[in-house]
A and B are shown apart, each in its own frame.
Chain A
Amino acid sequence: MIARPPEPEGPGGVYIHIPFCSRRCTYCDFATVAGRDDAMEPYLAALHREIAELQHGAPQVIDTIFFGGGTPSRLTGSQIYDLVQAVRNRFDVLPGAEITLESNPEDLSAEAVARIRDAGVGRLTIGVQSLDPKVLREVGRGHDGDRALKAVEDARAANIGQVAVDLIAGLPGEDPGGWTATLRRLAVLRPDHFSVYLLETDKDTPLTRAMQAGRTARPEDDDLADAWEETTDYLESVGYRQYEISNFARTVPGERDRVSRHNLKYWQDLPYAGFGLGAHAYHQGERRGNRRDLDGYISDLAAGRDPVAELDRWDPVRRLEETLFMGLRLREGVDATRIGARYGLDLQESYRTVWENAEQQGLLVRSGDRIRLTRTGRLQSNAVFGALLGHLPLE
């Protein structure tokens, strides 16, 4: 296998984390803070310093910027604009770059969306999660279903470019009828993109603790599988293509599908910088993650220190395994010849037994250079991914 990290196959991306929230949702385990708006200014100062001075290995040429959170819609238009400029000052941002910002419905109005748009954002994702009022109350969201629908309409009306909605299946209080209604009522508004997550109950969150204590019912695996099946069937029937296990892009004849170009970097082994609290980055074959405590992050940068907390050094086998399990999440799967050439091995041959076993179980198909999961394989993908890990000895 190759000794040094392969060259990236295209432009990179930049992720910027805005941890501030008005309240904490019970299912969330991201690096977020509620009630710390006092720290907004010093945090932004730290963020600017990190963007300007750190992560020297990050790709110079980029074509996506992603503001994630937390709740980036809590930023003012000029704060967003300044951060975009900071990225432009440091990186070569290609024309037509995708600039995405995550938002909560309660922060959005026609004027608010216009300000976000004018700051340079061309893609707005809205954290709807559910339209069921019972569910929204239960998990501590700050909006109801109507507010969420209104936010999508406002975003559309403001002509922000692309509007995406994020949903979570399996939240407490949800029933199959409510989930169907959520999908249908949103789909008629024709957002460009749906991200649909199945609730994860392995993280340390207030919700998981409530489930462990028996205060809240844990979603049944079968119900989650049903929700995934229903979502896939329904969204595909109304003009969305499932291009990744939990992502659906609107297809428009004669145009490119409305995929998340930034998220594709993660699935296609492309490099990205990651700035801000708990932000992760991948460049020069290394994965790194920043510390997750707000004050520590701010003081690190005040002192000019790199706030890195996790570092996973270059290892060709680990990176190859990740390239495979991330790439196989895509509907199109992976190109065995190209990845094999990048990492310096015969992918078909080296993982032959993995592919064959998965094929026998109906989880995977190989045709020519391409290896991809079947629909069943997508729902059972961990069986294939698990088999990939450790199949080759680590170098």
Chain B
Amino acid sequence: MDSCLIWGKNRDGPLMNIRNFSIIAHIDHGKTTLSDRLMEATGAISDREKHDQMLDTMDLERERGITIKSHAVTLRYKADDGQTYQLNLIDTPGHVDFNYEVSRSLAACEGALLVVDASQGVEAQTLANTYLAVDNDLEVIPVLNKIDLPNAEPDRIAEQIEEIIGLDATHAVHASAKAGIGIREILEAVVSQVPPPSGSLDAPLKALIFDSWYDPYRGVVMLVRVMDGSLATGMKIRLMNTGGRYEIEELGAFAPKPVVRTSLSVGEVGFIIAGVKIISDCQIGDTVTSDAEPAAEPCTGFEEVKPMVFAGLYPTDADQYEGLRDAMEKMRLNDASFSFEPESSTALGFGFRCGFLGLLHMEIIQERLEREFDLDLLTTAPGVPYQVTTTSGEELEIHNPSLLPERGSIATVREPVIDSTIITPPEYLGNIMKLCEDRRGVQKKLSYLAKARVLLEYELPLNEVVLDFYDKLKSGTRGYASLDYRLAGFREGPLVKLDLLVNGSPVDALSLICHRDKAEQKGRNLATRMKELIPRQMFEVVVQAAIGGKILCRETIRPLGKNVLAKCYGGDITRKRKLLEKQKEGKRRMKRVGRVDIPQDAFLAILKVD
């Protein structure tokens, strides 16, 4: 047992010396650097071990500079009052796709550091997470970071925090995580302002799972916060929502390296390994209780996370299908919010329809599959789930546009809509409002948070957002606007399926569902784009866009003029051979629809057209 984790009982009991907190920050506002500094300052990592961005362990996280999975580190801090405290720093994911995980991480805390860049100010994501923290009754401590930068305006930003969030920022800590300024002040603020955990050691065990992952050697590792009672090695436990029963094999805390302990008590944060083999048996937000003496009620707020973005993932090389399946199964062990089921496409062959929390989640999964399993993947344009009621009263959920039933047999189609929050400097209001209106948005609110900060709320169909909304928002506001959103539900709408036909055959992987009023323009743009992307073939190729049986437009790709090696002598043979092989490889990588070879980028054309 590591000595730093033995807590002497003092006059107020063990809970008094525990502080559980997380850090809320916009991307790039310095959360990870601050976490590193807190670890250094408390001796959790020495200089020798220092490795920038300690908490972001995955390569991808480090490259993208965002946290994808939650982490928790237990720090030992000797405060100015002479007492030693156990500080549990719970790192939260930094993207709207992982909102649910953020909410569970916050539910494990009593306090949060609200880190705001002293030159940039409050952003939508920060605002949303701060509201989440306030809703969870967390004590929020404002920290103005990067105050050493020449353009820092701590007073103005403090004012902004007060105006926008309604927090008293007069005592905000001025810090620079990078320069090591204000680190001790932050730790003191955590000790003095964040309340100690409540709960009872004698009550039946109740521990909230706020993250879990799959370790290839140990099985599933759960990160928990003990709300009541205690956990001990060998204890029989039950997961209250899924009903699974296990025995604790090992438990402990991260400091930041794993330290094995014999028990975790009320208020503490740590990990459990209990022989859980599949991550989906151990969902984030579930409650661990004692099998012998279960708690009456689980922790509140548990939700089954549902994927809201779907796309087809196909191996570019059909031989990699089995490899892709294995890789996805391994990926799912580690990520319960990723789903997949086999599908086949006439254009793309055999692949999988995959569900993701959002676009970033999709990109991450795709990148990890390619990088960690050495696969070459083709991803179809992402779409959203649609709820369809047929004329015979059947209820369907459609994840692949090509599977939308015939128009005649559809009674209603409902699409997911979101409530979005956008914060922007006022000069870009026009651009944003135009963008939102183009995307069928309904304005719910427009208010000035401060002189230079406007908050907009729009209800938007999710399918108008998944493709390129964020990019358009950023480019229309020079990167100044920030966006956050929550799923608001499903709404009925006049939605139709747009098909793309190549030499008369519909290309299933290019079907999409869109609003009736937008279908014609989209169809035209898509056909024009395909004309640019499909190389000339030996014969004429006709590209058409259609709704139902109605053809909207037609583009013709002329037959190839020539495909010949101009000259070929003794010295050229090896080079020409390579050229022919390259050409052939290029052709092999194309997908064949009927007789027409279609390059892989063409399947992403939907992403690029309005």
A-to-B contact residues, CB < 8 Å: 15, 30, 195, 197-200, 202, 220-222, 224-226, 228, 245-246, 263, 265-267, 272, 274, 278-282, 287, 289, 310, 312, 318, 321-322, 325-326, 329, 361, 378-383, 385-387, 389-390
Q: Which of B12-20, B237-245, B577-585 is the contact stretch? A: B577-585
Chain A: minimal CB distance from B538 (Å): 6
| A329 (CB) vs chain B CBs: closest residue | B568
Chain B: minimal CB distance from A32 (Å): 12
Interface string of B538-571 (1 = CB under 8 A from A): 1000000000000000000000111111111111
* Partner pick for B570 among A280, A312, A325, A387, CB 8 A cutoff: A280
Structural contact, A266 and B566, CB atoms closer than 8 A: no
Structural contact, B574 and A221, CB atoms closer than 8 A: no
Chain B: minimal CB distance from A268 (Å): 12
By Cβ-Cβ distance, the 6 closest A-B pairs, closest first, are A225-B561, A225-B562, A198-B566, A222-B561, A280-B571, A386-B584
A-B contact pairs, 9 of them (CB 8 A): A198-B564, A221-B561, A221-B562, A224-B561, A263-B569, A379-B562, A380-B563, A389-B580, A389-B584
Taking the complex as formed, is B403 at the interface, i.e. its CB lies under 8 A from any CB of chain A?
no
Structural contact, B568 and A266, CB atoms closer than 8 A: yes
In the bound complex, residues from chain A placing their C-beta under 8 Å from that of B411 are none
In the bound complex, residues from chain B placing their C-beta under 8 Å from that of A226 are 561
* Partner pick for A379 among B536, B563, B581, B587, CB 8 A cutoff: B563
Structural contact, B587 and A386, CB atoms closer than 8 A: yes
Structural contact, A382 and B563, CB atoms closer than 8 A: yes
Structural contact, A380 and B569, CB atoms closer than 8 A: no
Report how far A56 CA is from B17 CA in the complex, Å: 88
Other than A200-B566, A221-B561, A381-B564, give 13 A-B pairs with Cβ distance below 8 A.
Answer: A195-B567, A198-B564, A226-B561, A274-B570, A289-B574, A322-B573, A326-B573, A361-B538, A380-B562, A382-B564, A386-B587, A389-B584, A390-B584
Report how far A236 CA is from B453 CA in the complex, Å: 77
| B565 (CB) vs chain A CBs: closest residue | A382
In the bound complex, residues from chain A placing their C-beta under 8 Å from that of B576 are 325
Structural contact, A378 and B561, CB atoms closer than 8 A: no
Structural contact, B573 and A381, CB atoms closer than 8 A: no
| A265 (CB) vs chain B CBs: closest residue | B570
Report how far A199 CA is from B567 CA in the complex, Å: 9
| A377 (CB) vs chain B CBs: closest residue | B564
Chain B: minimal CB distance from A365 (Å): 16
In the bound complex, residues from chain B placing their C-beta under 8 Å from that of A361 are 538
In the bound complex, residues from chain B placing their C-beta under 8 Å from that of A385 are 565, 580
In the bound complex, residues from chain B placing their C-beta under 8 Å from that of A30 are 571
Structural contact, B538 and A382, CB atoms closer than 8 A: no
* Partner pick for A386 among B561, B567, B580, CB 8 A cutoff: B580
B-to-A contact residues, CB < 8 Å: 536, 538, 560-571, 573-574, 576-577, 579-581, 583-584, 587
Structural contact, B584 and A312, CB atoms closer than 8 A: no
In the bound complex, residues from chain B placing their C-beta under 8 Å from that of A245 are 564-565, 567-568
| A227 (CB) vs chain B CBs: closest residue | B562
In the bound complex, residues from chain A placing their C-beta under 8 Å from that of B573 are 266, 280, 282, 287, 322, 326
| A311 (CB) vs chain B CBs: closest residue | B574
In the bound complex, residues from chain A placing their C-beta under 8 Å from that of B569 are 263, 266
Structural contact, A274 and B571, CB atoms closer than 8 A: yes
Report how far A343 CA is from B569 CA in the complex, Å: 22
| B539 (CB) vs chain A CBs: closest residue | A361
Report how far A48 CA is from B571 CA in the complex, Å: 20
Report how far A256 CA is from B573 CA in the complex, Å: 27
Chain A: minimal CB distance from B171 (Å): 59
Structural contact, B567 and A246, CB atoms closer than 8 A: yes
In the bound complex, residues from chain B placing their C-beta under 8 Å from that of A15 are 570-571
Structural contact, A389 and B562, CB atoms closer than 8 A: no
Report how far A381 CA is from B571 CA in the complex, Å: 19
A361-B538, A386-B583 are known contacts. Are A228 and B562 too (CB-CB below 8 A)? yes
Structural contact, A282 and B570, CB atoms closer than 8 A: yes
* Partner pick for B538 among A197, A267, A383, CB 8 A cutoff: A383
Structural contact, B571 and A289, CB atoms closer than 8 A: yes
A278-B571, A380-B560 are known contacts. Are A197 and B577 too (CB-CB below 8 A)? no
Report how far A30 CA is from B572 CA in the complex, Å: 10
Structural contact, A272 and B570, CB atoms closer than 8 A: yes
Chain A: minimal CB distance from B325 (Å): 27
* Partner pick for A202 among B560, B579, B581, B587, CB 8 A cutoff: B579
* Partner pick for A378 among B538, B564, B568, B570, CB 8 A cutoff: B564
Structural contact, A379 and B564, CB atoms closer than 8 A: yes
In the bound complex, residues from chain A placing their C-beta under 8 Å from that of B570 are 15, 265-266, 272, 274, 280-282
A266-B569, A279-B571 are known contacts. Are A325 and B563 too (CB-CB below 8 A)? no
Chain B: minimal CB distance from A182 (Å): 16
A266-B573, A280-B573, A326-B573 are known contacts. Are A197 and B561 too (CB-CB below 8 A)? no
Report how far A226 CA is from B576 CA in the complex, Å: 23
| A202 (CB) vs chain B CBs: closest residue | B579
Structural contact, A224 and B562, CB atoms closer than 8 A: yes
In the bound complex, residues from chain B placing their C-beta under 8 Å from that of A200 are 565-566
Report how far A246 CA is from B564 CA in the complex, Å: 10
Report how far A310 CA is from B561 CA in the complex, Å: 34
Report how far A326 CA is from B565 CA in the complex, Å: 11
| A385 (CB) vs chain B CBs: closest residue | B580
Report how far A236 CA is from B579 CA in the complex, Å: 30
In the bound complex, residues from chain B placing their C-beta under 8 Å from that of A220 are 561
Report how far A267 CA is from B587 CA in the complex, Å: 26
Structural contact, B577 and A389, CB atoms closer than 8 A: yes
* Partner pick for B566 among A246, A322, A380, CB 8 A cutoff: A246
| A321 (CB) vs chain B CBs: closest residue | B577
Name, among A15, A226, A318, A386, the residue most crowded by chain B CB atoms within 10 Å (CB to CB).
A386
Report how far A220 CA is from B536 CA in the complex, Å: 13
Structural contact, A197 and B567, CB atoms closer than 8 A: yes
Chain A: minimal CB distance from B560 (Å): 7
Report how far A200 CA is from B584 CA in the complex, Å: 18
Report how far A289 CA is from B567 CA in the complex, Å: 18
Chain A: minimal CB distance from B569 (Å): 5
* Partner pick for B560 among A221, A265, A389, CB 8 A cutoff: A221
Chain A: minimal CB distance from B136 (Å): 57
Structural contact, A389 and B564, CB atoms closer than 8 A: no
Report how far A30 CA is from B566 CA in the complex, Å: 15
Chain A: minimal CB distance from B148 (Å): 44
In the bound complex, residues from chain B placing their C-beta under 8 Å from that of A199 are 566
In the bound complex, residues from chain A placing their C-beta under 8 Å from that of B536 are 221
Structural contact, A382 and B567, CB atoms closer than 8 A: no
Report how far A340 CA is from B469 CA in the complex, Å: 61
* Partner pick for A312 among B538, B561, B574, CB 8 A cutoff: B574
Name, among A220, A224, A310, A380, the residue most crowded by chain B CB atoms within 10 Å (CB to CB).
A380
In the bound complex, residues from chain B placing their C-beta under 8 Å from that of A202 are 579
A322-B573, A389-B580, A390-B584 are known contacts. Are A383 and B563 too (CB-CB below 8 A)? yes
In the bound complex, residues from chain A placing their C-beta under 8 Å from that of B568 are 245, 266-267, 326, 329
| A379 (CB) vs chain B CBs: closest residue | B562
Report how far A225 CA is from B587 CA in the complex, Å: 21
In the bound complex, residues from chain B placing their C-beta under 8 Å from that of A282 are 570, 573
In the bound complex, residues from chain A placing their C-beta under 8 Å from that of B566 are 197-200, 246
In the bound complex, residues from chain B placing their C-beta under 8 Å from that of A310 are 574
Name, among A266, A281, A325, A382, the residue most crowded by chain B CB atoms within 10 Å (CB to CB).
A382
Chain B: minimal CB distance from A379 (Å): 5
Report how far A380 CA is from B538 CA in the complex, Å: 8
Report how far A389 CA is from B576 CA in the complex, Å: 12
In the bound complex, residues from chain B placing their C-beta under 8 Å from that of A197 are 566-567
In the bound complex, residues from chain B placing their C-beta under 8 Å from that of A265 are 570
Structural contact, B580 and A382, CB atoms closer than 8 A: yes
Chain A: minimal CB distance from B558 (Å): 8
Report how far A325 CA is from B565 CA in the complex, Å: 11
Chain B: minimal CB distance from A202 (Å): 7
In the bound complex, residues from chain B placing their C-beta under 8 Å from that of A387 are 584
